[in-house]
Every structure is written in C-alpha cells, then in structure tokens.
Amino acid sequence: MSCDYLINNKEMARQNGIVQPLLTDLYQITMAYAYWKSGKVDDTAVFDLFFRTNPFQGEFTIFAGLEECLKFLENFHYSDSDIEYLVQTLPPNIEPEFFEYLKDLTCKDIKLSAIEEGSVVFPRVPLLRVEGPLIITQLLETTLLTLVNFASLMATNAARYRMVAGKNVSLLEFGLRRAQGPDGGLSASKYSYIGGFDGTSNVLAGKMFNIPVKGTHAHSFVTSFSTLDDLHTAVLLHAETQKQCNLLELAVEWRRRLSAVIDVSPEEASDGELAALISYAQAFPSGFLALVDTYDVKRSGLLNFCAVALALNDCGYRAVGIRIDSGDLAYLSVLARDTFHQVAEKFQLPWFNHLTIVASNDINEETILSLHEQGHAIDCFGIGTHLVTCQRQPALGCVYKLVEINGQPRIKLSQDVGKVTIPGHKEAYRLFGADGHALIDLLQRSSEPAPEVGQKVLCRHPFQESKRAYVIPSKVEHLYKIYWKEGRICTFPKPLVEVRERVQSSLRTLRQDIKRNLNPTPYKVAVSDDLYTFIHELWLQNAPIGELS
C-alpha cells in the first residue's frame, strides 16, 4: 500500500519525469565507464552525503528531500533513448558491452540509510549513507545532491521564518512567479509547508501535495473596474433568508455613514475600487478578504472594505479581512486595526475587532523582526521572493564523498581542514540531556557499541586534539534507519503532515541559543575516541611526503 502512496498521483509521476538517471553530471557516466573498464564492477563502496556549514548564518538545518530520493531509486533505469543518446555523446571507442551493462542497471544492490526527514541536522553528520556497488553508488551522486540540497535549504528557510514570526501568525508561501523554474516553485511550496508554513498560493502544489491553498485577488482585479456602473448586478441573496439584498445600495449607504466614523470623505475613495470589492463579495460572500492598497489604504481602501463588510453583514455574512501589499506595513496594519476597533464599537459588532490582516510586500526574516519591534497588527504574512529563492543564501552545499571502498576506509585530505572527510562506515547518535535538550551529535565507527544512557561517553572534536569532553546522556537516539535495500523501500517515508510535525518537534529539542537569529551558539558534533584515532592514523598514512603545509 505504501508503495502506491508514492506513485498513485499522476501529476507527481509527471513531475518526476525529469528525475531520472540522465539528470546527472556527465562525469558520473564517464567515471562509470572507467570503473567498468578497469574491472571495478564488483567493487563496493560507501558514500556519505553531508554538508559542511549551516545555511543563513544559522546553526541548524532541516533535512528534507528523502522521499524524492527514494522515488528516484525506485525509478532508476536508463531508457532505450537514454542509451542511444549516450552512445552518440560518449567517445566512439566506448565498448558496446558497457551500454548493455547500463541498460540492466537498477538500484537493487543499493542500501540507503538516512536520518528521518524533517529532523534538525548539523554539519558533517551524514544525512544519507549510500552503500553498494561502486559504479551505481557513484552514478547516484548528482541526482541525490540535487534532491536533498534545495529541499533542505527551503525547509530550513521556512522553519526560520516560522521561528521569527512566532506561533500566532499565519505564514503563506506566495512565491511561484519569482521561483527558479516551475519545479523550483513546486519544491518551494512543498518544503515551505514542511518547514512550518500554513499554505501556499500555488494551486498545483495544493493538488499534488495536498497543501492548503490560499488567495483572493490582485490589483488588476480592482483596476478592471472604473465606476459603480461597471457592476453587472447589485444583488446578493441573504445567507439565511435567501431574500434579495441590494449589496450596492447597502455598501454606498454604509460608506456614507462610515465616513464620519473614520474621518474619510466618500469623495476621496475610489468608486472603481468599491465596485470591485462589491463584485468580489458577491462571488465570495463567506470568504471576503480584500486587497485595500490599490489606490490609498487610508483614504480609499479601508473605507471601501468596511462599507462592503458592513453591507455583507446586513446580508448575513461575515467578512474575513484585508490584505495590504505596499507601504509601511507596521503603520498601515495598526491603522487598519484601529479602524476595525472603531467600527466594532460604533456599530456593536465585536467580530469586526478580529478581522484578519494579511501583509505581503517583499517580506523577509529581517522585515518580520523589524515589524515585531515596531509593533504591528498583522495576522498573516504572504511571503514570496525571499522565501522561495532563499535570497540570503540560495544554495546549500551538500557533498557526496567516498568514505570506504571494498571494506577499506577512504579519507579525502585537504589543506583546508574543514574539507577533510571523516572516513569509514559510521553510525550517528544524538545524545540528550536530562532536560530533554539535544546535547551533541556523535559519530562512531559502525563496529563500536552504541552509547548507553547513563554511561559516560568521550566526545571529541574530529580535528582538534585538545577539544574533548565526557557526556552522560539521558537519552540516546540512533539517527539512521535503513530506507532502501534489496531493490525496494523498506522504511516508508512519512506523509507530508507528519514530516511537518517532525520539524517542529525536532526543533523543540534544540536549546534556544542555538536557534536564535543573531549570533547563535553552534551545536556540537563530535566523534568517538575510537573514530578520532582512526581518522588521524589514516590521515598520517595518506599524508604527503614533503614540506609541512
């Protein structure tokens, strides 16, 4: 049944049409040929997929993209036309048997272990561990990186927005038009929902991933009406009595009465805007949320909105609220809230106090923090460009490194210590303190026994000898599960809403100082004493002879 869950959506399959073995760098295929030609078909390898630095100057990352990786493994197969293209593209002297080999290649001999999708993760701790024949493990590199990098970056970005916005504000993703390609937009919708957004404007994302979709109207809707004569009909049926109400007359009358209350002359307000709002209210009497900044929030939009909302009230409907898409959002939202309070009091309509105020103009983390400092009355942010393009840092630098071949560990040395890889087949554990907070992530050699609750564990910095400490964990979490082996998914990824909950529960295990926006404290990632010794012995064996670098 769970296999069905992954492929039962036609659109999802269509989208994943491009996630196929050729979605890779050519060098994976040239390397595959060189491996094949040099008799390495039966060599086995272990690759780690990890990143070296948290994005957005933060100290945590949300891991996402695992489900897509599993779908990729499931569908891995070179089609005849793929093979034909490769025959044309690779040099003419490639042995034809290699293409026969590729034709039959699947992920049946791969074992994929991973951290649970939606978990907070940290630099150097592998997110995926891929084991199997050297050639196929190598061929998976680029696509797995593509699937994990942007998904994790996006989920992390969304989680950061959620943290700065606080729990009481709704967050909507509005970025499709500015996303990096159509699929960049879909990924943004999906992973911002996972990261803690409440919905998206992207209808296809709603359909494909069952994410709530939201939206009302644009400025062009308002400007498409010039005068009250542009209204096709003035009528709306009463919600309960079904009697015809003249919404236009009611709204015009309310605008006249309101002008005294909120000190704006009806002559200042746009009639085209009033006509547009009436028309929108006729179409969505129970979902009336109006854009109020087409002409002037203060002198036109608010007055027209309140007039239509009160007219709707006469017809038995409650308006939802307003959206402001320009100007000083702190000032305008407070102005709107004050107006709503005045109307609520004057006309004895307490629900008017609680109308929703949506804001949506070029918002980023800093804008939200600044609005919080200034004071505002916004209930919901619609966020586009900065969210979906991850403007502050548009790429996560996950890498995919060979750590073992035929049972022998491999280390990649570098003059930059940060780029030295941690060799061998490893396990990762998260150690928790008595207060429930995560203390440290510990990498061990797979041959070592797992750390035990209540037992002290020596945790060492992987590269600095003097940095070490004993930790006595109150809880130990083994971070890896096997998700794929013997040609099929063996742990089914969780549905989107559960991954979304996992993000929040996982974040709650982090101390606040690690999550804060300004100068967060780094979370520690350590290696066991055994792994430390192993790394440094191997380093020494592989160290170049010659000058000290």
Q: Which residues in 72-131 contact its own copies (CB under 8 A)?
A: 81-82, 85-86, 89, 91, 93
Asked whether position 260 contacts its own copies by CB under 8 A, the answer is: no
CB of 433 to its own copies, least distance (A): 36
**And the tokens for 176?**
């499709």
Nearest to 356 by CA among 383, 333, 331: 333
Q: Can you tell me which of 156, 201, 333, 339 binds its own copies, judged by CB under 8 A? A: 201
**Interface pick for its own copies out of 149, 157, 339, 444 (rule CB under 8 A):** 149
Q: Kindly tell me the burial class for residue 48, based on how many C-beta atoms sit within 10 Å of its own C-beta (0-12, 13-18, 19 or more).
A: buried
Q: In 10 A of CB 499, how many CB atoms?
A: 25
Select from 17, 67, 63 the least CA-distant residue to 183: 17
Q: Which of 39, 96, 166, 407 contacts its own copies by CB under 8 A? A: 39
> How many Cα atoms are found within 13 Å in the side-chain-facing hemisphere of 236?
27
- Stretch touching its own copies by CB under 8 A, among 211-219, 249-257, 424-432, 494-502: 211-219
Which C-beta is closer to its own copies: that of 164 or that of 231?
231
Neighbours of 92 (CB within 10 A): 6
Residue selected from 77, 111, 346, 410 as contacting its own copies according to rule CB under 8 A: 410
Q: Could you give the count of Cα atoms lying within 13 Å of 55 in the half-sphere of its Cβ?
A: 28
Whole-number Å distance between alpha carbons of 185 and 199: 13
CA dist., res. 305 & res. 155, Å (int): 36
Interface pick for its own copies out of 53, 223, 356, 491 (rule CB under 8 A):
223
**Shortest distance (Å) from residue 238 CB to its own copies:** 13
DSSP 284-295: -TTS-EEE--SS
- Count of other CB atoms within 10 angstroms of residue 184: 17
Give the distance from CA 180 to its chain's centroid.
14
CA distances from residue 439 to 118, 123, 224, 471 in whole angstroms, order as listed? 19, 15, 58, 8
Evaluate the CA torsion angle 315, 317, 323, 327 in order and state its sign.
positive
- Asked if 173 and 200 count as a contact pair (C-beta separation under 8 A), the reply is yes
Binding mask 413-442 vs its own copies (x if CB under 8 A, - otherwise)?
A: xxxx--x-----------------------
- Residue 310 CB, nearest approach to its own copies (Å): 20
> Is the CB of 313 or the CB of 474 nearer to its own copies?
313
Tokens of 530: 């055994």
Written as six digits, the tokens of 237 are: 């049926």
What is the closest distance, in whole angstroms, from the C-beta atom of residue 391 to its own copies in the complex?
Answer: 5
CB of 30 to its own copies, least distance (A): 6
Would you count residue 57 as binding its own copies (CB under 8 A)?
A: no
User: Any contact of residue 284 with its own copies (CB under 8 A)?
Assistant: yes
- Interface residues for its own copies in 444-503 (CB under 8 A)? none
Is residue 233 a contact residue for its own copies (CB under 8 A)? yes
How near is the Cβ of 22 to its own copies at its closest, in Å? 4
State residue 32 phi and psi, 5-degree precision.
-60, -40
419-439 burial, b for 16+ CB within 10 Å, e for fewer? ebbbbbbbbbbbbbbeeeebb
Query: Does 145 participate in binding its own copies (rule CB under 8 A)?
Result: yes
Does position 226 bind its own copies by CB under 8 A? yes
- Report the nearest approach of its own copies to the CB of residue 347 (Å): 25
Return the residue of 6, 33, 306, 525 that touches its own copies, per CB under 8 A.
33
> Do 24 and 147 meet the contact criterion of CB atoms below 8 Å apart?
no
Of residues 386 and 515, the one with the C-beta less far from its own copies: 386
Contact status: 52 vs its own copies (CB under 8 A): no
Q: Which range touches its own copies (CB under 8 A), out of 144-152, 349-357, 479-487, 494-502? A: 144-152
Name which position in 213, 369, 420, 469 contacts its own copies (CB under 8 A).
213
Question: Are 213 and 200 contacting, i.e. CB atoms less than 8 angstroms apart?
Answer: yes
- Binding residue (CB under 8 A) for its own copies from 54, 152, 202, 304: 202
218 contributes a contact to its own copies by CB under 8 A: yes
Nearer to its own copies, 288 or 523 (CB): 288
- Exactly one of 231, 261, 262, 469 binds its own copies (CB under 8 A); that residue is 231
Query: Across 235-286, where does the E strand assignment appear?
Result: 235-237, 244-246
Question: Is position 182 an interface residue for its own copies (rule: CB under 8 A)?
Answer: yes
- Does 361 contact its own copies by CB under 8 A? no
The answer to whether 256 contacts its own copies (rule: CB under 8 A) is no
Kindly tell me which of 124 and 386 has the beta carbon lying closer to its own copies.
Answer: 386
